[in-house]
Each structure stands twice: as C-alpha cells, then as structure tokens.
Amino acid sequence: MPIPKNTMKRLRDIRTRADKIDLLFHPNKIFLRLSCIEMEKTRLGIEKESATSRQKNIDIRLQEREEEKTVLLEAVNKLNDRPNSEEEQQAVKPKRTGGGFKVKY
C-alpha cells in the first residue's frame, strides 16, 4: 500500500460546529443553564444570610465589650474618688530592706 502524498491537514479538514449552531440553543441545554443559574442564586442567597448573621453577631459582641468597658471605667472612677487612708497608702508602698540582690563568687 503506497503512502499518501498529502498527509497534512488543511482548512477544509478542520471540523467545526458552524453547521450545528442550533444545537447551542437546544431546549435541554437552555433548561440546564437555567437550573444552574437558579442553583447559584440559591447558594448566593444562603451566603448572604450567613454573612448578615455573622455581622449581627459581631455587632452584638462589640456592644457587650463597650458595656463592659463603661462598667470598668465607672469602677475605676469610684476607686479614684474615695479618699485613701494612711493604712492603704502604707500597704501600697514597698518596704525597703536596704539589701537587694547580692552575688558571691
């Protein structure tokens, strides 16, 4: 059997779908694409609800921290407003022993 002289493919040998353009708009493909769009919309809706609930939880936690901060600041202000007795002032001051840390060789 002889080897064919022309083994190179040419433009007319390239297969295209130009004659099958109506297959792109086949009803089954259209319905498949519509169902994919609906599934994506549903998924995005769920993601949106999740994000809003997370945002609400963060806002609640921030509000709780602000309330805790105000309570602590009020407690500090009450401690600063009361007069300190001499006993408390002496208890706060460290006692000096005069020594310190000594190292012997």
Can you give the three-state secondary structure of 61-87, one letter per residue? HHHHHHHHHHHHHHHHHHHHHCCCCHH
CA 23 to each of CA 13, 28, 51, 58, 64: distance values in angstroms, whole numbers, following the listed order: 21, 10, 40, 51, 60
pLDDT at 54: 97
pLDDT tens column, 1-29: 666 666 677 776 777 766 555 556 778 88
d(CA 16, CA 67) in angstroms, rounded, equals 70
Domain assignment of residue 104, yes or no: no
Domain assignment of residue 7, yes or no: no
Reply yes or no on whether the pLDDT at 63 is more than 80: yes
Domain assignment of residue 67, yes or no: yes
Q: Which of 6-10, 28-32, 63-67, 94-98 has the lowest mean pLDDT?
A: 94-98
The domain containing residue 56 runs over which residues? 20-82
Domain assignment of residue 12, yes or no: no
Provide the domain count of the chain: 1
Domain assignment of residue 77, yes or no: yes
pLDDT at 20: 59
pLDDT at 27: 81
